[in-house]
Amino acid sequence: MKQYVKDCLKSFLIVVVYIFVLLCVMYVSIGKADFKSTFLIGEPEGRYISPYSTLSWLSNDLDDNWRLSVIGRINGDTHADIMARSTAIDFGRVDGVHRDSWRNRISILRSNGIAPVVWLISDDSSDVYARGLNNQIDYQNQVVSAVDDVVSHYVVCLECDEYYSSSDVSTLIAELRKKTDKPIGVHLTPGVKAEYIKDADIIYLQTGFNLNEKQFRQQIENALRFGKPVVVSEYHLQGTSAGAKAFGDIACSYPGVVGTGNGRGTTSCQTLEWGQTKKKEWYQEYEKEIVVSGIAVATLFAMLKHTPKLKLNASDNGYELGLISGDYNLRYSEDRIAATYRIEF
């Protein structure tokens, strides 16, 4: 009898561990963040409109000494905006996915507590646009395959409305969602256009430069009307300046603003949470079946001396499947799972 009870308890413990691990796997993708980044840094210099812009992070035009210099300038940021494709002359050129070197460069950010936000294509890259939308779809798929596990999320294009139609942007987002469950942002020229942001998870707002406080607030309030989380992304050319930080703090005073991109002081924005409504993977689609299998296998492991019997009851109203093995009874239907032991002392 004692061994019998031990076997039952062991089986029960196996089931508990099995279900716990299953639930952990199912919900591991849930994430939280308040995005604080600074992507325009430094006075114009040579070919660069922003010589220490994090957008140039993946470019072969800059070396690791430059990257460490940038790290020193964005100390305290939680995220860094990095460009995956750009042939614009005023930032470092990036046109080609190089998995190993990209991951090495991203590791510099991550080792300093900074999560990369990948912008998939830049403005002022007309030679890239000429290759067609399918070329960009293929390129962003390559990006996701190379670095999805080491980045925070994506912005589908910088100033999308300069070179893509709203339907193009919707297509890029739809194709990107086939490859990743991470949030997708849309960045436009100053202001917000409903047809461009309708499929985005996050609005990456460009307010325009040289605004007074009232104008700046009006841009934020307009963006929040669309009911999506907003990262107030572009508002100052010198993201490390006192003026930029003051505007970043103002932005964070608004509920619905989940981050800033051109500098901030010591305030915190609202936290964005994602992952709860992600598409179902196979193990979520069949979670009841997996749980039933775990219960059956774990229990029968301790009770193999009994020959299991299968029982099926079916009618127009549904079905119930029964598995009986000695004092163990499992019943499964579309809306119920029940497993019981009968223990006698």
Q: Which CATH number does the domain housing residue 98 bear?
A: 3.20.20.80
What integer pLDDT is reported at residue 273 of this predicted model? 84
User: Quick one: angle between helices 133-147 and 99-111, nearest 10?
Assistant: 60
**Of 71 and 277, the one with more pLDDT:** 71
pTM for the predicted model, two decimal places: 0.74
Cα separation, 85 vs 123, in Å, equals 10
Angle at the Cα of 228 (from 256 to 141), degrees rounded to 5? 125
**Residue 112 in domain:** yes
217 plus 318 within the same structural domain? no
191 plus 114 within the same structural domain? yes
195 plus 66 within the same structural domain? yes
What integer pLDDT is reported at residue 180 of this predicted model? 97
> Would the pLDDT of 147 be above 90?
yes
72 plus 41 within the same structural domain? yes
Q: Please give the distance of CA 235 from its chain centroid, rounded to a whole number.
A: 24
> Would the pLDDT of 287 be above 60?
no
Structural domain including 194 reads 31-274
**The pair of three-digit structure tokens given for residue 251, joined into one six-digit string:** 């932005």
> Would the pLDDT of 49 be above 80?
yes
Render pLDDT for 244-264 as a digit per residue (tens, 0 to 9): 999 999 999 999 999 999 999
Cα separation, 230 vs 324, in Å, equals 55
Please give the sequence-ordered ranges of beta strands (E in DSSP) within the chain, or none if there are none: 31-33, 35-36, 79-83, 115-119, 153-155, 184-187, 202-206, 230-234, 257-260, 272-274, 309-315, 318-325, 328-333, 336-341
Confidence band of 24 (pLDDT split at 50, 70, 90): very low
Render pLDDT for 69-114 as a digit per residue (tens, 0 to 9): 999 999 899 999 999 999 999 999 999 999 999 999 999 999 999 9
> What is the full DSSP assignment across 74-92?
STT-SEEEEESSB--TTS-
